[in-house]
Amino acid sequence: MRIKPVSLIVILFASITGPFGQISVLAETRPNVVLIMCDDMGYEGVSVYGSSTYDTPNLDSLAKSGLYFKHAYSTPICTPSRVQIMTGRYNFRNYVKFGLLDTSQKTFANYLQEVGYETAICGKWQLGGDSATVRKFGFSTHCLWHLDGRDSRYWNPRISRNGELLDNLEESFGPDVMTDFACEFIQQDRDNPFLLYFPMSLPHWPFVPTPDSDQGGSRDRSGKYDGRAGGEEYFPDMVNYLDKLTGRIVKALETSKQIDNTLIIFTCDNGCAINITSEMKGRKIKGGKASLPDNGTHVAMIAHWPAQFSKGVDKSTLVDFTDILPTLCDVAGVESEEVVTDGHSLLPLFNGTGSSGREWVYCHYIRNGFPRRPQDEMKQSEIRKKQDKLIEQKMAGAFARTARYKLYADGRFYDIQRDVEERQELTNVEGKQLEIRKELQSVHDRMPKWAYFAQP
């Protein structure tokens, strides 16, 4: 029997050119990588963070025996987060259209494939193209929803495996099909290390019963629900089920004796849907998907790697989705000068040699992207009018923040620690607050000015 390589799992439930950590993973001990990102579940979705609405024992166990971040931030909606996490670059650089990853971009899968990793992806695609596009982005095998049609992702799902639609799924639950693929890939006998990326479809609407839901609720398992309304009673079941599937993947690593040197990082692409309300530490939190305040961008992130660390909660490190690509490249032994990224590697934090070096988080968000030549689609005045309305609704814009303070590109400044819902702007600041505001303004000043957000 071949000797299996040690494993790295990254479970993701998301400065200009930040510094890389030092390459410290020897070629003969390069870890495997499994990256899992769930869909539409904010910081308040994981019980270890204080949520009283959901039960996530598998994630809690990973957090308590590993490392979990109090300050991890995504973009407010799915495609921008997927583009950012896969390319390690802020959205103003490469996000051109909702539901699309520009084929000129290089992903973490491309980088790892170039240094000998076997690569796979399963789950939700939503990035355009076809099976050839998936391979172009560095994945040699795939099992995906939203690659060949958008029919059900849950019951009786439409799933494509390596370019072929799967049949006989009438009684199947889509996330189970994806997890079967993931576990099968993990347990393959191989000589080379592997990368598995698992962007889960759970717990995104439509809200439906899972295989573990009680019978007799408001919905059956037909999966014929196109609208966003209704079925909210099943959202906790869907969160619990994604936790269960995470446990299945961990079990597959344990069974194949790959868990000890496995890094697990858990996060999500954005906050909960706006029709979901959760309770966390006695506070009601309304889902903020597609908006820039904390309830749209603050996500859980858990890291677990028994061979490297057991540190508990990290209350100070700032993380955004550009940091994942350089972290994966760092642990895989990719030469730092080869990697183009805006992120900071977390490996120094993991192996105890230092911090990531990140001093602030940046987010530049607009749902429908930035066409390469927007003047070809509409007049600049029309663009400005549409974007001003979105900014006013807090559904587009840019911010730079520390763990406590947050400055928007339009000048709004908040103390998030005391005003998490951003109800009262800080004005006439002085002393330490003024220093922090100037530091965050310097971040905005060094970012390119898009036509969408050009200053008057």
Provide DSSP, 370-434: --SSGGGTS-HHHHHHHHHHHHHTTSEEEEEE-SSEEEETTS-EEETTT-TT--S---S--HHHH
| Helix or strand holding residue 57 (H, E) | helix 57-64
Model confidence at 456: pLDDT above 80: no
pLDDT band per the 50, 70, 90 thresholds, residue 185: very high
Q: Is the pTM of this model over 0.85?
A: yes
Per-residue confidence (pLDDT) for residue 372, from 0 to 100: 57
Model confidence at 367: pLDDT above 50: yes
Per-residue confidence (pLDDT) for residue 390, from 0 to 100: 74
Per-residue confidence (pLDDT) for residue 262, from 0 to 100: 77
Q: How far apart are CA 323 and CA 339, in angstroms?
A: 12
Please give the CATH topology (third level) of the domain spanning 7-361: Alkaline Phosphatase, subunit A (3.40.720)
230 is written with which tokens?
A: 């209704």
Per-residue confidence (pLDDT) for residue 386, from 0 to 100: 72
Q: How far apart are CA 401 and CA 363, in angstroms?
A: 9
Domain ranges of the chain: 7-361, 371-453
pLDDT band per the 50, 70, 90 thresholds, residue 70: very high
Three-class DSSP category at 367:
coil
C-alpha triplet 399, 101, 182: angle, nearest 5°: 105
Residues in the chain: 456
Ranges of beta strands (E only) in 55-157 are 67-73, 118-124, 141-145
Higher-scoring residue by pLDDT: 1, 56: 56
Ranges of beta strands (E only) in 230-331 are 264-268, 277-280, 283-286, 298-304, 312-320
Among residues 268, 365, 238, the alpha carbon closest in space to that of 42 is found at: 268
Dihedral of CA 158/100/276/318: which sign? positive
| Helix or strand holding residue 366 (H, E) | strand 361-366
Q: What is the pLDDT of residues 198-248, one digit of tens each?
A: 999 999 999 999 999 999 899 988 877 777 788 999 999 999 999 999 999
Among residues 392, 388, 402, the alpha carbon closest in space to that of 442 is found at: 402
Model confidence at 18: pLDDT above 50: no
